Amino acid sequence: MVVGLVETAVPAAKSTVSSAVKKPTTLSSDPIINVARGDPTIYEPYWKKMGDRCKVVIAGDEFMSYFYNAMNLCWFLLPELDNAIRTLHRVVGNAMVDDDKFIVVGNGSTQLFHALLYALSSPDMPEPINVVAAAPFYSVSIQLQPLQSYPEETKFLRSELYKWAGDANCYDRDEPYIEVVTSPNNPDGSIRGTVENREGGKAIHDVAYYWPQYAPITSKADHDAMLFTFSKATGHAGTRIGWAIVKDKVIAAKMVKFIEVSSIGVSREAQLRAAKVLGFIADDCRNPDVKGENFFEYGRRLMSERWGKLREVGMKSNGVFSLPKYPRDYCKFTGEYTDSNPAFAWLKSKEGLNCENLLRDESKIISRGGPSFGVDSTYTRVSMLSRDVEFELLLERLAAVKGTVNGN
């Protein structure tokens, strides 16, 4: 099992995740590159440069109580974080955050996804509610085993409240359902709406990647229940903070109850840090005198450069693999027409080839194949958010793929 950045050995039956930046290696030194997961370490240099401006200091006697947001429905939400979230969405223009919307904070958007499944289902229904998503759908590799994905998360506790019911495109039962919509989509970066639109249908909108570095901001997202996460917005994956923007008070209250019973709220320290960083970005974006790029300008430039390089490699691959094309669109945040630069590249190999195996066997690149996302094995997903050293090595390797080895 290998989940390090660039591993030269493969310890058996042991978790070997690692975030250390190792010495750059070349193709000839034969290391494994793992880009199956979306660890957003790409933004580290930016935050290093910001230095003390985003530092948080917490004294020994702070945050002792369970309780601290007396008048809020989400009683464990730090008011500073509530404020920073709303301010940043207003500055970026990517989500409606009117005062009548409820913000629910969670231990990452993962916990909020579970909370929403709970809130949208009901113990009074005779059958578990069906959960669907249009393929290809979200799937995250942690420790190389496909532990996380919408199917996995839905099935995990064998709840009688809800059950995974597969690809939304194939769903034809006349039963209640929840559709999970990820837009921009993970893995393929497409902009999506619901596939099912029947009366009484419910939806969870995962808009984790709807930020200017990944996609043009064309309008304010305004769905019943939307999920965002600190990790994809700014790169702070270790902080475990996500937030939901919810229209209906009853749904928001059920989510709060879920998080109470699961973990009695969310670490105050993590919330304080998220508030600091999100507030910092919002201030920078609003300040015309800021020196250098703001966070989103930086992120968009970086992602755009990476996508340019990857497309170049793709074009030279003689059709061994290809990449999706995205329409340019007018981004209201930047005030110009911009490209989509998704957090993942969704590679498709020539027919008859297994793309995941191809990359693994020819180039020691660990990616995550189509079947994990509900589609065929000519597809595979590669993270675009790794550190520079790893990304450059990835390009070097991909450029050398010939499409001759293929353990199907």
Segment 300 to 339, residues that bind a copy of itself, using CB under 8 A = none
Query: Positive or negative CA dihedral for 216, 222, 223, 225?
Result: positive
Least separation, in Å, of the C-beta of 143 and a copy of itself?
7
Measured from the CB atom, the residue of 274 and 313 that comes closer to a copy of itself is 274
Q: Is the dihedral of CA 55, 60, 65, 68 positive or negative?
A: negative
To a copy of itself, the closest distance from the beta carbon of 18 in angstroms equals 4
Rounded to whole angstroms, the Cα distance separating 158 from 162 reads 8
Q: Supply the minimum distance, in Å, between the C-beta of residue 271 and a copy of itself.
A: 9
Give the x/- contact pattern for a copy of itself in 105-124, rule: CB under 8 A.
Answer: -xxx-xx--x---x----x-
Among 151, 184, 265, 342, binds a copy of itself (CB under 8 A): 265
Copy the structure tokens of residue 43: 């933004």
- Does position 260 interact with a copy of itself (CB under 8 A)? The reply is yes
Nearest to 176 by CA among 153, 196, 201: 201
For residue 75, the minimal CB distance to a copy of itself (Å) is: 5
Distance CA 154, CA 149 (A): 8
Q: Residues 70-99: x/- map of binding to a copy of itself (CB under 8 A)? A: xxxx-x------------------------
Tokens of 154: 């839905």
Name residues contacting a copy of itself, limited to 5-64 (CB under 8 A): 14-20, 37, 39-41, 43-48, 50-64
Indicate the residue among 209 and 326 with the shorter CB distance to a copy of itself: 209
Give the shortest CB-408-to-a copy of itself separation in angstroms: 30
Other CB atoms within 10 Å distance of the CB of residue 73: 15
Residue closest to 349 by CA, chosen among 359, 341, 340: 359
Nearer CB in complex with a copy of itself: 12/172:
12
3-state secondary structure of 226: strand
404 is an interface residue for a copy of itself by CB under 8 A:
no
Helix ranges restricted to H, 287-406: 295-315, 355-363, 388-399
Cα–Cα distances (Å) from 178 to 8, 171, 279, 374, in that order, read 43, 11, 33, 17
Q: Does 237 bind a copy of itself (CB under 8 A)?
A: yes
b/e per residue, 349-388, with b = 16+ CB within 10 A? Answer: bbeebbbbbbbbebbbbbbbbbbbbbbebbbbbbbbbbbe
> Is there binding between residue 1 and a copy of itself (CB under 8 A)?
no
Q: 398, 325, 316, 399: which is closest to 360 by C-alpha? A: 398
Give the nearer residue to a copy of itself in terms of CB position, either 19 or 26: 19
239 touches a copy of itself (CB under 8 A): yes
196 to 235, contacts with a copy of itself by CB under 8 A? 231, 235
Preceding peptide of 327 cis, ω within 30°: no
- Binding a copy of itself by CB under 8 A: which of 69, 83, 304, 322? 69
Number of residues engaging a copy of itself in binding (CB under 8 A): 88
Using CB under 8 A as the binding rule, the residues of this chain from 145 to 164 that contact a copy of itself are 147-148, 152-153, 156-161
Residue among 241 and 285 whose Cβ is closer to a copy of itself: 241
Burial tier of 154 (Cβ tally within 10 Å: 0-12, 13-18, 19+): buried
User: Smallest gap, in angstroms, from Cβ of residue 79 to a copy of itself?
Assistant: 12
Least spacing, CB of residue 351 vs a copy of itself, in Å:
35
